[in-house]
Amino acid sequence: DGGITQSPKYLFRKEGQNVTLSCEQNLNHDAMYWYRQDPGQGLRLIYYSQIVNDFQKGDIAEGYSVSREKKESFPLTVTSAQKNPTAFYLCASTRFGGAITEAFFGQGTRLTVV
C-alpha cells in the first residue's frame, strides 16, 4: 500500500540533544512538508521541499533543519536551539510541488523533552 511512514511514533529527548524524525513516502510525490501541532491547536508549517535537493523555511523554522537527498525521504532534525520542542510532528506530501494537489499525512511523531 502506498503511503507516508513516520518513525518513531514516540521520541524522548534530553535537554541539549539533537534528534531526527524520519519521514518516508512511496507515493512518488514531488513535494514534502513538515508541520508541528501543539495541544488544542491546528498545524503550523516548519519546512517544505518541492523537489530533491531543495527546501524552504516555513512559518516556524527556527531550531529545525531538514535535508532532501532522495525523493522518498524528508528527515527533520530538532536541534538544541529549539526552545520548546515538545509537540506532535506530522509529515505530509503532495503529488506536485508547483501545483495545488491533495495533501496526505503520515501518522505523526510525538516528541517529548525529558
Partner 1 sequence: GIQVEQSPPDLILQEGANSTLRCNFSDSVNNLQWFHQNPWGQLINLFYIPSGTKQNGRLSATTVATERYSLLYISSSQTTDSGVYFCAVVSPRDAGGTSYGKLTFGQGTILTVHP
Shortest distance, position 77 Cβ to partner 1, whole Å = 21
Residues that bind partner 1 (CB under 8 A): 31, 33, 35, 37, 40-45, 48, 50, 56, 58, 88, 90, 92, 94, 97-98, 100-108, 110
Shortest distance, position 33 Cβ to partner 1, whole Å = 7
CB under 8 Å, gap of 24 or more: what pairs does 12-19 form?
12/111, 12/112, 12/113, 12/114, 13/78, 13/85, 13/111, 13/112, 13/113, 13/114, 14/113, 14/114, 15/80, 15/113, 16/80, 17/80, 18/77, 18/78, 18/79, 18/80, 19/77, 19/78, 19/111
Nearer to partner 1, 11 or 80 (CB): 11
